[in-house]
Amino acid sequence: MTSSELPLGRAVDYPRHYDPGLLFPIPRAVGRSALSIAGDTLPFVGHDRWHAYELSWLDGRGKPMVATATFTVPADSPHLVESKSLKLYLNSFNSSRFDSADDVRARIASDLARSAGAPVDVHFGLPPMIGDEDDVVDLDALAIDIDDYGPPNAGHLACDAGDIVEARVRSALLKSNCPVTGQPDWAEVRIEYRGPRIDAAGLLRYLVSFRDHAEFHEQCVERIHTDLVARCAPEQLSVEALYTRRGGLDINPWRATPGSAPPLAVRALRQ
């Protein structure tokens, strides 16, 4: 698949009518092959949670309705949904009439499931904002020198095999670039693990080394999870990135050790 085939990389007309054909699936295998992940047995569990802030349609009498919504796509689906195509698809509801809000929800769930190749959970509303977290270490407070901005450098990762801990850390300094348009993607990354203590300075340098890297959101999170497992062999690992919105959408990929429970759904301040 070339970038010219993606709706993200070219001008498109604003949709005037409901059109599920606007959704553009991308095989997850494309990004996973670069991480030597192949086949149906994944080394992680996870999901991609989308927040939609600009959802509207017409009721049976033509009156506009508005809503927010959350879509959760399982990480083991064969396809991810390209972001601009999702935006265009949601915009196609704007001038179309539907019998009820539940009809809209059901159509979105069915259309996204067909595109992703797996059941997709859809409900109206958004998760709450992150509250106070005294037990989360803020990596961004570290006073360290950094001069590596890409490509992602797992060589920065180091751990102390003699010091087994349970830890939660965060950084708002994760930035990568869209592989098609080159536009920046910003995120807060949240890592929770049990195992050898990961060197905080090295972890922050590693996350910053994504700064000039071009890769989709979902693939960046899978790369972070894969590199941490390879370098530090944690017993349990959870990696979630809360990306800022673009075009009324934000995405929050989460990957974790098999058997892990999903994290509490929340939104970061910048979302």
Catalytic machinery residues: 178, 185
Residue 247 annotated as lining a ligand binding site: yes
The secondary element (H helix, E strand) that includes residue 187 is strand 184-198
Return the structure tokens found at 219: 């693939």
CA dihedral 60, 61, 66, 69 (to 10 degrees): 0
Distance CA 201, CA 184 (A): 24
Distance CA 186, CA 240 (A): 13
Is residue 81 within 8 A of residue 23, CB to CB? The reply is yes
Largest interatomic CA distance in the chain: 68
Residue 81 annotated as lining a ligand binding site: yes
Is residue 83 within 8 A of residue 249, CB to CB? The reply is yes
User: Is 233 strand, coil or helix?
Assistant: coil
Return the structure tokens found at 117: 């190749």
Residue 36 annotated as lining a ligand binding site: no
Return the structure tokens found at 164: 């087994």
User: Is 152 strand, coil or helix?
Assistant: coil
Residue 217 annotated as lining a ligand binding site: yes
Instruction: Please provide the size of the chain in residues.
Output: 271
Dihedral of CA 75/81/87/90: which sign? negative
Distance CA 86, CA 7 (A): 10
Residue 82 annotated as lining a ligand binding site: yes
Task: Please enumerate, by residue number, every residue annotated as part of a binding site.
Answer: 81-84, 217-218, 246-247
Task: Please enumerate, by residue number, every residue annotated as part of a binding site for NADPH.
Answer: 83-84, 246-247
Task: Please enumerate, by residue number, every residue annotated as part of a binding site for substrate.
Answer: 81-83, 217-218
